[in-house]
Structures are given as C-alpha cells and as structure tokens.
Structure 1
Amino acid sequence: MTQQKTGILLVNLGTPDAPTPAAVKRYLRQFLSDRRVVDTPRWLWWPLLRGVILPVRSPRVAKLYQSVWMEEGSPLMVYSKRQAQALQAQLPDTPVALGMSYGQPAMSDAVDSLLAQGVEHLIVLPLYPQYSCSTVAAVWDELARILATKRSIPAVSFIRDYADDTQYISALVGKVKASFAEFGEPELLLLSYHGIPQRYASQGDTYPQRCRDTTRALVSALGIAPEKVMMTYQSRFGREPWLTPYTDETLKELGKKGVKNIQVMCPGFAADCLETLEEVAVQNREIFLEAGGETYHYIPALNDDASHIAMMSALTAHYR
C-alpha cells in the first residue's frame, strides 16, 4: 500500500492587514459576518453591522492595534508565521501551511498550497486549545466550503481541540513557573479565557467545560492550592449575557477586596494578539490597580516557544 503524502494546516482566527480604520473595517466585516460568530438574523444584523458597528468600532479598534503593532506586523500574524516556520523546520518532510479564518493568508490559499505539493492527507490543527462553535466549528465550515470546490479531495484528520493534552499543559506550566521565578509567586493566578454568549453554551457548545478541563489540569500540574487560582472570561461583545465571571469585573472586585498581587494568563490563546496584549495586559491592569491592587503581571501566550512547537509536532504525530 502506497503511503499518502501528509500535510499540516495550522489555522488561527486572523487579523487586519494594517492598523488602519479601513483595514480593520474589512477584517471586522468578514469576521462579524460569520454566522458561527454572530447568529443574529441577517435582516436585523446587516443594517446594525454596516450602519453602526463598523463605522464606530473600526477607528477605535485601529488605535488599539496601533498600540500593539510590531515591526513585522500584527502580533497574531507574526507569532503564527513563526509557529508555522518552526513546525516546518521540525518536520522537513511534511509540508506545513498557515491559514486564517478571516483575512490573509486565507485558508483557501493555504489548502491550495498544500494540494499543489501533492498532499493527499490533510491534518488540520485549529490553534484553539478549547473547542467552541465560534472558532473551531468555523474552521470546519470554511474547510468544507473550500473542499466543495475540488474534484478530488484529500483525506482529512481534524483535531477538534487539545484542552487537556499533556504537552500543552506542560508548556503552560513552564510559562507560569518562569513568571513566578521572575516576579515571585502572586496571591492569585487568574486564568482568563475568551468569552462566548451564554446562550451558545446553553445550546450545547462544550467550550466552558473544556476551559474548566484546562484549568483543572493546569492547577493539578502546578501543584498549587486551588483557591490560589481563579478562572474568568474576557472580551464580551454586545448586550446579551456572556459566560461569567467577567475578567474585568472580577479584577475590580479583587482590588476592592484587598488583593494586591496578581498574575494573569490566557490559556485559550495560542498566540498573543490584541485581546491579550492590549485588553488583558493594559486595560485590565489599569482596572486592577485603580481598584486598589498593587502588582499585576501578564504571562505571555505560548507563541513560538520551543515547548509549544514540540506540542504541535506531537499532537499531529498521531495522524502522520
């Protein structure tokens, strides 16, 4: 039996091409038009999105992107490219391509690149440790749309998530211990995950459970008292209830209650981006300090750390 040529498709959310209102508007239009992200009826959503949200939010969000933009580009794009390059270096005989759900490089271009290299078996690794319909399922939908245009489709191995994968947890432990070694052990380690509407969870999205699975495994591996760790949700949008407790409100309450020293980690982000570098590292720090806190440190995402790349290699090895 002839061995199939295998390729790896890494997928992350995406990012604007530039920190400008026009580029942000293009990106947000595509992102917020996905029914997996916002499932409001189109007749109601389109006028609101195009007439209010995009014109108002795009200039404001562009300024936030300007504050975190790196010399090489958007942080999420910079780290995602480094991840793909590092994984390719580890697996020289296995083509690796990077695609984004929204923006560039498009998933369709990444798939075409792999197929052009003779790939017959596609391993898809969405870089979302905890499954959600708004992220991982959106990758599945887009992949199905892409392959629907092909006369011949590859075999597909789709990695749904890796919330409690041993090497993923070990990599997180390494980041936490490095931070504790540099800044001392805090009174509280706050684990902040990206939120989703509570309604999605009520309708069957397993995301909150997978976040709890990560938290449980991380606390166990760190060997610290459970009461020294809290789990919250950030980045809510719109007026309907999202998963609670909210990160910003929790930090305000902790500061008021006399908690002085906190370190914050975002285990759901495979690469640092606007939500971690601006919202969590800057805005939430200000909230905590203004409420009475004294010391606040953000623990960076796994990004292109060697332990993270080793995890990706091991995770895809099961399918290669």
Structure 2
Amino acid sequence: MTSSDPKYQHRKTGVIFVNFGSPESLDYFSIRRFLKHLLLDRRVVSLPRLIWLPILYGFILPFRPLGLLKSYKAIWKGETSPLLHYQASLINQLKERCKEDIIIESAMIYSNPSLKTAWTSLKAQGVRDVVLFPMYPQYCSATTASVFDQWQKLMVNEKFMPGLRFIHSYHDDPHYIKQIADSIREHWKKVGKPDHIIFSYHGIPQRLFKQGDPYFCYCSKTTRLVAESLSLKLSDYTMSFQSRFGKEAWLKPYLSEVIKDKASQKCKIIDVITPGFSIDCIETLYEVGVEYQEEAAEKGSVLRVIPCLNDHIYSVDMYRSILKKLKII
C-alpha cells in the first residue's frame, strides 16, 4: 500500500450502524449461540464469573433456547428474523440515499454481520474516519457502551486505527422525536385514539441507575418530548419498563403493572409504543405483541402495539437528517 493507491488519495468516511443482533437461523443451536454471546457480555450480566458461568452453562444455555424457539417461530420473517430483515432493508435504503457522501455498513454486536466484518469492508475501501452509530436512541451502559467495548477490542491488534466519532445518544434529537410522534399519529389515523398510551422501554437493574447510568433520564426525556409533540395530558400516557431478567429490582413501573392498573381504571383500548427499539424484535413483537396482549385481554382490555420505525421512510429520513445535522454528510 502506498500513497499513490487511489483509495488513499483523500480521506473517506464510513458509518457503521450497529444494532443488538438476533439468532441467524430458526433452530436451537443458533439461538443458543446468540444467547451465549449476549450473556457473556459483562455489561449485560455483571455477576462474578464464578457465580454466573455455572448458571449460564448449567441451566440457561441448555434449556432457554428451547423456550425461545417457540417465541421466535411466532415472529420469524421468511428466512430470517425481523430485526435482521428490517436492518438490512434500512441500510440498503440509506446506502442509496447517501452513496455520494459516505460509505455505510451494518453490524450486530451479538450476531452477524459482525463489527469486524463491517470494519474490514470499510478499510478495504480506503476509509480513514469511522462514525460508530449505535442504533439505541437512549444511551445505556448495557447496550451503547457495549458497542464501544467491542470496537476497542477490535482495534487492539489494528495497525491502522481510523479516526473515530461515536454517536452517544439521539434520545432528544428533533428528527427522532418527530418521527416517533408521526408514527403514533399515523397509527391513530388508521385505528383511532386509545384510552391510554404506554411508552415502554427495555428495563435495566436499578443499581445501574444508582451507579450513574443516565438511561432512565433519557427515557423520561424522550417520553416527555413525544407527549408534548402530541399535546398529550399527563393522564393520557405512562412510561414503563419491560423485559426484566433475574430477581433483582429493575427500573419501574413494570409494564405488566401499568397494564393491570389501566385495565382496572376501565381503559378498554391501550396502545403501547417502544421508542427504545429502533427495529422490531422479539421483545416488541412477542413479549409485548403476544404475551402482554394476552395479559391485557385477560383483564378486559385490548392492547395495540405501535410498530417500531423499522425500515419505514420515516426511519431512513431520520438517520439521514441526524447525519446531516452532525455534519457527517
């Protein structure tokens, strides 16, 4: 490689949009592999290894994939998972819209395409500056910080380290708030307004918040800004948290408790939107869209789930607007 190589005659910028990941196939071993990568991350489970590893290898990995197989079957989209399907579609649209400005790649933290694959592709195209864009609107140590950790590990043996710009959060970005609000308006235009709307976010242990993780504050701000955009009264909406794992206390109120409370107040139609998820996945499609729908029905209420932005033109425009605002394109 020399300075005469046309790839290196001017600085190129690459953007890697990074998401959580998903099992790549609808089978026991793919789900087990995904769970293993996820649950070995110390940001996700911070228990001492002497305690956690016997639990993980002795109980969770042998049996949990069997239970999840049914859940994934209920939401699987053709040959792949919804998250991988929508992410690929979104990235292809962004590549088309931004092809003259930057080089775009997609990556997953706990499945393929990996961060390493994305960086290898960018490096081969002469990219010297990288924008790492975690697709989690609200910063959280268990998600956003894990992306940075993975990038650091990738760079340990890298002889050429590119310039790096890390997108920390976009929880209060006007473009993001507008698109979430517009997706709710579009939903209401089709099916009518509910008696109550719940903004549900993936939960985290309360101890992380006490240790300085701002996630709860960012979720609160997103909820408030969207509610203000929709001119909602405080009595019209509630913020909640879902997907609790383990026995310790997580951020509250739990989604199940809010559903129970609103059903007892005779709210017959309840909408749920999950602004912390950029793309629909098992937590939104099955946990909320099946399990919590059934729970609400048992209490006499109808739970309607508002889809994530996914690969909608809303999402494409939002990410392009954020990149433009940050002067990346």
| Structure 1 residue aligned with 2:50 | 43
Aligned to 2:175: 167
1:53 equivalent among 53, 60, 75: 60
Task: Report the counterpart of residue 225 of structure 1 in structure 2.
Answer: 233
Q: Mind listing any 5+ residue stretches in structure 2 that lack a counterpart?
A: 1-8
CA contact (8 A) 1:123 1:316 kept: no
Equivalent pair of 2:199/2:240 in contact (CA under 8 Å): yes
C-alpha displacement of 1:225: 1.4
Segments of structure 1 that go 5 or more residues without pairing to the other structure are none
Q: How far, CA to CA, are the matches of 1:208 and 1:72 in structure 2?
A: 36
Query: How far apart, CA to CA, are the structure 2 residues paired with 1:211 and 1:126?
Result: 16
| 1:213 aligned to which of 202, 210, 221 | 221
Amino acid at match of 1:166: P
Partner of 1:255: 263
Distance 2:227 2:266 in 1: 23
User: Is 1:62 matched with 2:62?
Assistant: no
Name the counterpart of 2:137: 129
Report the identity percentage. Answer: 36
Task: Report the alpha carbon displacement of residue 72 of structure 1 after superposing the two structures with TM.
Answer: 3.8
- SS of the residue aligned with 1:232? strand
- Rounded to whole Å, the distance in 1 between the matches of 2:79 and 2:256 is 30
C-alpha separation between the residues in 1 aligned to 2:239 and 2:215?
13
The separation in 1 between residues aligned to 2:178 and 2:263, in whole angstroms, is 30
Q: Which amino acid aligns with 1:46?
A: L
CA displacement at 1:255 relative to structure 2: 1.6
Query: 68, 86, 109: which one pairs with 2:117?
Result: 109
Shift of 1:124: 1.0
User: 2:244 aligns to what?
Assistant: 236
Partner Cα separation in structure 1 for residue 89 and residue 132 of structure 2: 18
1:86 aligns with 2:75: no
RMSD: 1.1
**Matching residue of 1:193:** 201
**In structure 1, C-alpha distance between the alignment counterparts of 2:318 and 2:184, rounded to whole Å:** 17
User: 1:281 Cα shift?
Assistant: 1.0
Please give the secondary structure, in 1, of the residue aligned with 2:127. Answer: coil
1: CA distance, partners of 2:309 / 2:97: 17
* Equivalent position of 2:5 in the other structure: none
Cα displacement (A) at 1:319: 4.1
Letter in 1 for 2:37: Q
1:6 touches 1:120 (CA, 8 Å); kept in 2? yes
TM-score by length of structure 2 reads 0.95
Distance 1:3 1:248 in 2: 54
Q: Which residue in the other structure is 1:155 paired with?
A: 163
User: Match of 1:26?
Assistant: 33
Is contact 1:24-1:58 (8 Å) kept? Answer: yes
State how far apart, in whole Å, the 2-side matches of 1:311 and 1:111 are: 24
Q: Between 12-21 and 267-276, report the one with greater CA deviation.
A: 12-21
Q: CA deviation at 1:310?
A: 1.2
Q: Which residue number in structure 2 is paired with residue 303 of structure 1? A: 310
Q: Deviation above 4 Å: which 4+ runs of structure 1?
A: none
SS at match of 2:20: strand
Q: For residues 157-181 of structure 1, what are the alpha-carbon distances to aligned partners after superposition, in whole Å with 9 as ceiling and x for unaligned?
A: 1100100100001100111001111
Residues 200, 241 of structure 2: 8 Å contact kept:
yes
TM-score, normalising length from structure 1?
0.97
Structure 1 residue identity aligned to 2:40:
S
Q: Is the 8 A contact 2:89 2:311 kept in 1?
A: yes
* Local SS of the residue matching 1:90: helix
Of the structure 1 ranges 54-63 and 205-214, higher mean CA displacement relative to structure 2 is found in 54-63
CA deviation string 1:114-136 (max 9, x = no partner): 11111111011100000000000
Following superposition, the deviation at residue 205 of structure 1 comes to: 0.4
2:104 is equivalent to residue 96 of structure 1 = yes
Does the aligned pair in 1 maintain the 2:172–2:221 contact within 8 Å?
Answer: yes
Q: 1:313 maps to which residue?
A: 320
Cα distance between partner residues in 2 of 1:158 and 1:309: 20
Write the distance in 1 (CA, Å) between the matches of 2:153 and 2:47: 21
